[in-house]
Amino acid sequence: MRINKLKDHKVLKRWVTSGVIISLLYGGFLHYQIISHADGEVPQEADYLIILGARVKGTTPSLALQFRIDCAADYLKANPGTIAIASGGKGPGEDISEAEAIKRELLEYGIEESRILLEDQSTDTYENIGFSKKLIPNGAESGLIVTNDFHIYRAGMIAEKEGLALKGLPAETPVQAVFKSYVREYLALTKYFLVRAFR
């Protein structure tokens, strides 16, 4: 009986060890993909950029969204021929849509209203990109997707499924939100891979 218990313990230990190793390798793979995709060269003079929404507190952009807006505004000022598609609907606790919050901030930066298109119905990244695709002007070819650095990898894959070859324009992630953001993104990527594998 004691021998059987020892064998069971060894088997369990092997399974746990294997699980830990696989988890570490998988986590390392995800982290490498996230970092490498956020570190790509950003082409200039893109025809358009899609700014993905994030939480708005009343009418004030969250810090994560503000970083996206700041990043987009810098690019738009340096590339006057680029138009912006502000994307994001209105969620709980938001007095205006995320798209409207983006637009207001871009206007404060001096970006012309005629260069800002609104997509204010989406509720997640899939809809952000799918709905924004319908607003891309005829003849526009090169595009960028603006989001926080941890989100570029998954957003790019979703865009590719929509038939859009978008380069990433990564905004910084607020320091206080780095751990939470990356953990949530690991889970979101895992869900994305599982859904794609079983479709």
Per-residue pLDDT of the chain (199 residues; tens, 9 = 90+): 555 665 666 777 788 787 788 888 988 888 889 998 888 889 999 999 999 999 999 999 999 999 999 999 999 999 999 999 999 999 998 999 999 999 999 999 999 999 999 999 999 999 999 999 999 999 999 999 999 999 999 999 999 999 999 999 999 999 999 999 999 999 999 999 998 888 7
54 occurs within a structural domain? yes
What per-residue confidence (pLDDT) applies to 74?
97
What per-residue confidence (pLDDT) applies to 199?
73
8 occurs within a structural domain? no
5 occurs within a structural domain? no
- Number of compact structural domains in the chain: 1
40 occurs within a structural domain? no
Strand residue runs (E) in the chain: 48-52, 56-57, 60-61, 83-87, 116-119, 143-148, 166-171
What per-residue confidence (pLDDT) applies to 18?
79
What per-residue confidence (pLDDT) applies to 3?
58
Domain that holds residue 147: 48-197
What per-residue confidence (pLDDT) applies to 198?
82
Q: What is the pTM of this model?
A: 0.88
CATH number where 53 lies:
3.40.50.620
What per-residue confidence (pLDDT) applies to 103?
98
Residue 9, classed as helix, strand or coil, is: helix
126 occurs within a structural domain? yes
- As beta bridge partners, residue 146 has 51, 169
What per-residue confidence (pLDDT) applies to 195?
87
CA–CA gap between residue 24 and residue 81 (Å, rounded): 44
What per-residue confidence (pLDDT) applies to 1?
56
